[in-house]
Chain A
């Protein structure tokens, strides 16, 4: 659910990065935070444990620029990936405008990816959404590691509806902005359809 404020002339949208534990959701936000200018971004808030695992969410507000006199702002959120934080994950999806699913390309994380994607669908349904009807982008992360599943195979497993996908190395920033741009465009085009 986007928030359009005619008084301050702002359009605010919420994008959630979803995926299994340690797939690189927080790393995506950290890279975006590092590479954007201070005028564009707010504080990166991380509610994390002492071992830097996301406990509740990370949050990064990002101002992209103006469209027809309206300031466009994206609020980027990550969910905690670990299985037992299911209740928290559900809460963060509330009011989402677009989803990025970050998949971990490592062979041993294949089941975790599938499980997380199922979890995403269930949690969205609980909030009254359908993944197929939301702006949605997939990111195949950790493409620099040696033990990875080929993209074609990942795409077969995780992307039956053929949504846009990007290969990524979030630690180095490869594919991070491409993913963000893609989901951002989808979200705005979807909003445009409604008005």
Chain B
């Protein structure tokens, strides 16, 4: 299984798209998580939110729902929506690879969030597909870019002292 590597340029493009979605959907927070629960990027107010935990729980949520889908003979449930007293959260899968979460309150609506998420999903899918292509193409030249190229076993031992 290949690792998930994100370079500066793609990160900038993903970040830009998340900001756009954050503004257009009038959201409180927009975040992108990989399916294993690691936060990739976010836009909005993360001040009072533990985003690491949010990422892990969101991925758990998608994984559990995916398990239900499988049981029922569905490929997946690609959109989840949780309605709260004050805040709501819209969670969807992008490019079969990452999870997009949008946190919003009464200043926005489910309709507008769904519409904007759909548009951003298309843009993000393009970025991730390009990333995949790039990863394939750069496989050979990757060693010199990798942080691991220079890391020695001693460096690793040192970390655990």
Give residues in A with beta carbon < 8 Å to B. Answer: 1-9, 11-12, 14, 42-43, 45, 47, 56-57, 59, 61, 64-65, 67-70, 72, 75, 87-88, 90-92, 94-95, 128-129, 181, 184-185, 188-189, 191-192, 194-195
Are A64 and B159 neighbours in the complex by a CB distance under 8 Å? yes
Q: Which residues from chain B contact A189 at a C-beta distance below 8 Å?
A: 153, 156
Flag whether B53 is at the interface (Cβ < 8 A). yes
List 12 A-B residue pairs with CB atoms under 8 Å apart, sorted by A's residue number.
A3-B5, A42-B53, A43-B50, A43-B53, A56-B60, A67-B159, A94-B35, A184-B159, A185-B156, A189-B153, A192-B148, A195-B149
**Other than the known A8-B11, A91-B66, what 16 A-B pairs have Cβ atoms closer than 8 Å?**
A1-B3, A3-B38, A3-B40, A5-B6, A7-B8, A42-B50, A42-B53, A56-B64, A67-B147, A69-B147, A91-B60, A92-B63, A94-B36, A192-B156, A194-B3, A195-B147
Shortest Cβ distance from B158 into chain A, in angstroms?
Answer: 8
Chain B residues in the interface with A (C-beta under 8 A): 1-8, 11-12, 34-38, 40, 50, 52-53, 56-57, 60, 63-64, 66-67, 71, 142-143, 146-151, 153, 155-157, 159-160
| Residue contact B6 to A195, C-beta cutoff 8 Å | no
In the complex, are the beta carbons of A57 and B147 less than 8 A apart? no
Q: A2 contacts which of B4, B7, B11, B64 (Cβ < 8 Å)?
A: B4
Residues of chain B within 8 A of A194, CB atoms compared:
3, 148
Closest chain-B Cβ to A40's Cβ sits at a distance in Å of: 12
Complex Cα distance, B34 from A94, in Å, reads: 11
- With beta carbons under 8 angstroms apart, the residue of B2, B4, B11, B60 that contacts A57 is B60
CB-nearest residue of chain B to A14: B36
Q: Decide if A11 touches B147 in the complex (CB within 8 Å).
A: yes
Chain A nearest CB, measured from B67 CB (Å) = 5
Q: Is the CB of B35 within 8 A of A95?
A: yes
Query: Least Cβ distance of A164 to chain B in Å?
Result: 13
**Do A4 and B4 have beta carbons less than 8 Å apart?**
yes
The 10 closest A-B pairs by CB, nearest first: A95-B36, A7-B11, A195-B148, A195-B146, A91-B63, A181-B160, A3-B38, A70-B147, A192-B148, A42-B52
Residues from chain B with a CB closer than 8 A to the CB of A192 are 148, 151, 153, 156
